[in-house]
Amino acid sequence: MLRTEVLSTGFYVPERVITNHDLTQWMDTSDEWIRQRSGIVERRWVEDGVGSSDLAKAATEQALEMAGLQATDLDCIILATLSPDHFFPGTGVFLQRKLGIKNIPCLDVRNQCSGFIYGLAVADAWIRIGLFKRILLVGTEVHSSGLEKTTAGRDTAVLFGDGAGAVILGPTEDAERGVLSIHIHADGRHAEKLWMDAPGSSYTPWLVPEYIASGLTRPQMEGREVFKHAVVKMPEAVREALEATGLSLDDVDVVIPHQANLRITQAVQKVLGLPDEKMVSNIDKYGNTTAASIPIALHEAVASGRIKRGSLVCLTAFGSGFTWGSALIRW
């Protein structure tokens, strides 16, 4: 039986560091408010004109190098983002072009903070049925150019950052290793609790200046509702993964939750009763990078030696949709 293994990881964040203090020049906020509510100290923002596919390219190049592969060795691209370069076509094709390759399929995944786990579910299925042997899965976001950087948008503007994380996935016949389980869920009843209303085909026309003026084109969030659901759904998804595999929390070496907010991940940790050393957190440095947050944290945990051959890694995410899920990977 084939399983999916992670052959390599890579990440990229823009060089431009924006501290909490920097944000105070555009909006009425404070370092204390942001740290206390979210754990974020700084985040990265791109320079003007840099899109999600540019960050994805840099993360991919690192993953390719780590795997000792060329872009031409890839046979499929799955790209998760909520901040596509363009409304259409998908960002995957722009990444493909920037990597200098052609013909291989490109799939865009639009599942926000859960995008990486949804993408992993697709990649895992395609690898296990033998469709592809080298799948690039990348989560990438450029939030900064879409945020409302005024006091009106401060509830979301302080939380999100830019970045990309990538993994290269391939088949293994080693029954002990690889992706052991994936569980994904959604509940569209909560779609408007974290969303961007326009532009969109539910309007005629899709975009006019009035939508911008009335705030429809900026991210909107009911923060407390998001919080409330996240701290229930992520632990549920972790338990679901453990039940499905007959493993326990004691078996898990590293938990990588989507880096939404330190208070959310601390609550998840508490509900599950996990010790600090099992939780990965880097939100202080990057903020919430949505689809990129799990693969960035994964890369850092691998690079620092926290994840090594044989480690049992649990990923879990929750976000806009609402969508959520978990994955268990034996490294």
Active site positions, annotated: 113, 258, 288
Does position 33 bind ligand COA by CB under 6 A?
A: yes
Whether cis (ω within 30° of 0) applies to the bond prior to 89 is: yes
Name the one range near ligand COA by CB under 6 A: 55-63, 130-138, 260-268, 322-330. 260-268
Q: Which residue number, 18 or 113, has a Cβ lying nearer to ligand COA?
A: 113
Of 224, 58, 215, 203, the closest CA to residue 142 belongs to: 58
Does position 26 bind ligand COA by CB under 6 A?
A: no
Please provide the DSSP assignment of 58-122 as one string: HHHHHHHHHHT--GGG--EEEEE-SS-SSSSS-HHHHHHHHTT--SS-EEEE--GGGHHHHHHHH
Choose, by CB under 6 A, the member of 113, 136, 237, 302 that binds ligand COA. Answer: 113
Does position 29 bind ligand COA by CB under 6 A?
A: yes
Does position 195 bind ligand COA by CB under 6 A?
A: no
Does position 187 bind ligand COA by CB under 6 A?
A: no
Q: Which residue number, 234 or 329, has a Cβ lying nearer to ligand COA?
A: 234
Largest CA distance in the chain: 57
Does position 223 bind ligand COA by CB under 6 A?
A: yes
Q: How far apart are CA 26 and CA 153, in angstroms?
A: 10
Choose, by CB under 6 A, the member of 92, 257, 319, 321 that binds ligand COA. Answer: 319
Pinpoint the alpha helices (H) of 129-222: 154-157, 209-213
Name the one range near ligand COA by CB under 6 A: 4-12, 134-142, 197-205, 257-265. 257-265
Of residues 49 through 88, those in contact with ligand COA by CB under 6 A are none
Choose, by CB under 6 A, the member of 256, 260, 297, 301 that binds ligand COA. Answer: 260
Tell me how far, at minimum, the Cβ of 177 lies from ligand COA, in Å.
Answer: 30
Q: Which residue number, 229 or 299, has a Cβ lying nearer to ligand COA?
A: 229
Does position 142 bind ligand COA by CB under 6 A?
A: no
Query: Which residue has tokens 């972790």?
Result: 238
Tell me how far, at minimum, the Cβ of 298 lies from ligand COA, in Å.
Answer: 17
Within 8 A by CB and 6+ apart from 49, the residues are none
Residue 322, number of CB atoms within 10 A of its CB? 23
User: What are the start-end ranges of the E strands in 198-311?
Assistant: 220-221, 254-257
Tell me how far, at minimum, the Cβ of 146 lies from ligand COA, in Å.
Answer: 15
Residue 174, number of CB atoms within 10 A of its CB? 11
Q: How far apart are CA 134 and CA 120, in angstroms?
A: 13
Does position 91 bind ligand COA by CB under 6 A?
A: no
For ligand COA, the binding residues (CB under 6 A) are 29, 33, 37-38, 113, 154-155, 158-159, 221, 223-224, 226-227, 260-261, 263-264, 288, 319
